[in-house]
Chain A
């Protein structure tokens, strides 16, 4: 082999090596794109719901309500008959089976929706009005094109008769699309068209607030002690090793800890944001301490010495000068720790947050779900409608995480002083 040939070979090896590096970065970036694209394309349709424009006749005989009835009377009144009458009239059905199939095209909350429209305007007695009633999950998915309609009838959830009604509705312009308010305001439900993340969001907010209240002060105080006051001895070393190891303990172990100590021993209420918050705080604590200490360490000693030189005590130099300067880094570390806690699922499953909770929690000691747990729960459901709900929940979760991370980066870039 001549010298030139060898050199050529070495240079092409160089190019190959460089290409591998670039290719790996590209692979990683490509995956981020695929993941985000996949989730967004599946999830964005969950913010829209399919409605069926239906003429509702508030028949006085069926309602047994007088004109100008009080709100309480209306709430107690039975709108079931009115609903059945109106739904059946929307399409000619031959027998009771067909009527039932027709009714099943609407969500289970149709009666409530009819009642609500009446509550908003109670001069409707004896009147006819066209309402946007939420369609059932099957129709919703069919209309969004997520449901294959060319399957044989016995493998479809929708019968041929129901398909015929649907086609008729579409032809007559009775099918419409509305903003899916249920998705944001309701709690969990067995029916995908009625399921929402309201409860999960409230549960997540409670948990994260409790986590913040517990973890932030303790983490800041602990890192101030370790960085500024702790004598160099075995106890301090031990605490340090401990914190580093705790930060790497798998999150599910914290779930076991919470199960044994918080639930079995102290007997705090199961499935609640309170327990979730405490568990997440224990887990987040070492993850906040590490960046806190780094930002305290980054403050140059001249600041401390300057304060000490003009007669401040050690405490005054730390609390009046070092801590404020380290605050931006501390806060951004805390926010990133909280963002991790917000997406944490495994420990929450162990403390029973997988319970089926319909109500929106009104306090941290009510049973509740949280956003990531809701993702897990819905992803296990068989109904097709839950796939888009799950993806949409992931979108909301990722949005929260992005906001928190941007805030952390902003805090650091805007307020952190560079010393050099």
Chain B
């Protein structure tokens, strides 16, 4: 239905292009007037005016139609005597009514459902008809308006450009809308979560076991139940596990990444650089699920085997395996950023150092790195933010149980692992367990935002210094 409408709108408006062009041409010839723009711009003008309002209307309508119909239907069903105890039941009845309408319903039919299904069919029909009528009305009105403008020989090119510029602006706003969407969707559920669980219990609790809150409705929680729930959502073990694995990853990524960045910027011949830089960047292009698979099926068992040989008990989901593999994934982020940063240190600093007799490595250690330090720290912070937001490696290779430990051979869990574990499969939308995933998401979002902000400021400041 919508596709047909969009198709019709596009066909109609593009045919108007030819009409507008030839109309103004003939107008110019017969009326002997000088056009304000090339004839084709009058065509574009018609196309834009005819299609954009209708398409925007269609979009808005399609977004709101299901919501409105749903509330109307639930209302009518309630009037006919259906009793809903909560939102879920109402949703269920609505789904049933929809299924009856589509003819896919299997189950008992009572009079309420039957009546509501009839009402549903009626409303669907009314909405569809009025949508078509309104869209045609809008097209006719906007076409008439633009035709009138054309007849008056408007400055079509300027007008077209203004409209297009608006389109460009709207496209760039989508980034802001995305951010807004992220913040709102995280906040919305988090607020619900924090209305049940005290924010301090969340931030400073040392016990994370959300499964205890399963199948419990947040709105009807008793005091006794709350006492029980209170210490099920302690964030401390998660941030400790996340930080610990990220720390292990940085232990691998920083030395290897930094040294290869330095080597490529200062020592490598053009040939070595041309070969090794893309190969190291392959590491960044490999999907993280591949690293996860490798960590879980090869590295984890390997460490366990080695540990057994030394008489150590190594968990097959050890923090060490996850951290090591994550570190390898992050190497290219550190190396290519620090390579860039070191490259932009002015040559004159190096020349000055060589002039007083320093060797190359002394120059690098005493002059180049201190000069590039803010940028290097920025790149390391970006790498840390990537490490704490990384999901697949830890989901596959790190443990599931929250476990406060600093032994790299034991298993720990992370924020992202818990989000995935909570939200995989069927969720109940009003349970604190589901909402806690959004609270974790919000925490993660804020943490990475702060890290990125500091890192970008550091790199930018540093760049400005030598520009």
Contacts and interface: CB of A to CB of B under 8 A. Distances in A.
Interface in A357-416: 372-373, 375-376, 379-380, 387, 390-391, 394, 397-398, 401, 405
B416 A346 contact: yes
Contact of A20 (B66, B164, B259, B328): B259
A101 B411 CA distance: 40
What does DSSP make chain A's interface, helix, strand, loop or mixed? helix
A266 B70 CA distance: 12
B178 A315 contact: no
B286 A256 contact: no
Interface string B322-360: 000000100110010000000000000000000000011
Interface stretch (A24-32, A111-119, A172-180): A24-32
B276 interface: yes
B181 A261 contact: yes
Interface string A270-282: 0000000000001
A210 to B, nearest CB: 14
A395 to B, nearest CB: 10
A398 B265 CA distance: 29
B165 interface: yes
B360 A260 contact: no
Contacts of A16: 361
A339 B283 CA distance: 14
A49 to B, nearest CB: 21
Nearest to A347: B391
A217 to B, nearest CB: 8
Interface residues of A, number: 85
Contacts of A315: 161, 164-165
Interface in A148-206: none
Interface string B281-295: 011011111101110
B174 interface: yes
Interface string A188-232: 000000000000000000000000000001110110111001100
A253 interface: yes
Given A239-B172, A376-B292, A28 B331 contact: yes
Contacts of B290: 35, 39, 343, 375, 394, 397-398
A80 B464 CA distance: 77
B327 to A, nearest CB: 10
B213 interface: no
B85 interface: no
A16 B452 CA distance: 34
Nearest to B416: A252
Given A346-B395, A398-B290, 7 more contacts: A21-B260, A22-B267, A23-B259, A25-B263, A252-B441, A345-B289, A354-B425
Complex A-B, nearest 9 residue pairs according to Cβ-Cβ distance, in ascending order: A250-B389, A21-B263, A343-B287, A260-B185, A225-B168, A17-B361, A221-B171, A346-B391, A24-B259
